A and B are shown apart, each in its own frame.
Chain A
């Protein structure tokens, strides 16, 4: 079983603070790394799907980097706002390592971000 680890489990920041969290995944046979944002009472929503070592993606104040050789990805939020409060999930298609579909994602437990006004 391939594990996806996220840290920290939770994070409390003040409005305007910049923050980052980590996702660790198996570095062998890399295919893709997904980031999702899940607000309370809403559906998880895809932020990024990253595929290339050294890749950096950006959406507004949120950006992510990828290191496939060492098996980690960072998600950064610049100038956090209360509306950024959510759980941020990363996921990895672990099934590809035993012939499964790239859509069979293994999720981490997430980092729960709370931004205080």
Chain B
């Protein structure tokens, strides 16, 4: 148990659906991240939030829309996705001071777009 939870763990959605992924951390961290893991590719950073402010958008298509209402919660809103967006989406959090941004990951949401 890393202190970072993600729901749902599995999601199947059609290309015209709208869905949201949720991440919650119970570690008191101030930075939260969304990563994408596609088959045979390294973990790719998508978005970064520091103190609820988005500080990084790694050229992610607008069909992915993040939201960070407070330092403990992070959402990824999905709409009109493509089949190539099927992947494992991981959330992580970190606390900068004294830890060199060591990241704590959630278990991920396995997304399948049909």
- A contact residues vs B (CB 8 Å cutoff): 4, 31-32, 34, 36, 41-46, 49, 51, 89, 91, 93, 95, 100-110
Q: How far is the CB of A16 from chain B (nearest CB, A)?
A: 30
Chain B residues near A44: list those with CB within 8 A: 43, 90, 103, 105
Contact with A along B1-30 (1 / 0, CB 8 A): 010100000000000000000000000000
In the complex, identify which listed stretch (B48-56, B66-74, B79-87) lies at the interface while the others stay far away. Answer: B48-56
B96 and A89: CB pair below 8 A? no
A102 and B42: CB pair below 8 A? no
Q: Quick one: closest B residue to A95, CB to CB?
A: B56
Tell me the complex Cα distance, A49–B96, Å: 12
Tell me the complex Cα distance, A103–B55, Å: 11
Q: Does B45 sit at the interface, judged by CB under 8 A?
A: yes
Select B96's contact among A95, A100, A102, A110, beta carbons within 8 Å: A102
Interface SS of A by simple majority: loop
- Chain B residues 90-114 with CB under 8 Å of chain A are 90, 94, 96, 99-108
Select A103's contact among B4, B33, B108, beta carbons within 8 Å: B33
B101 and A89: CB pair below 8 A? no
Select A46's contact among B31, B43, B45, B103, beta carbons within 8 Å: B103
Chain A residues near B94: list those with CB within 8 A: 103
Select A42's contact among B45, B55, B107, beta carbons within 8 Å: B107
B101 and A105: CB pair below 8 A? yes
Tell me the complex Cα distance, A94–B47, Å: 15
Select B99's contact among A49, A101, A105, A106, beta carbons within 8 Å: A49
Chain A residues near B101: list those with CB within 8 A: 32, 49, 93, 101-103, 105
Q: Quick one: closest B residue to A46, CB to CB?
A: B102
User: Given contacts A104-B48, A105-B45, A110-B42, are A45 and B105 in contact (CB under 8 A)?
Assistant: yes
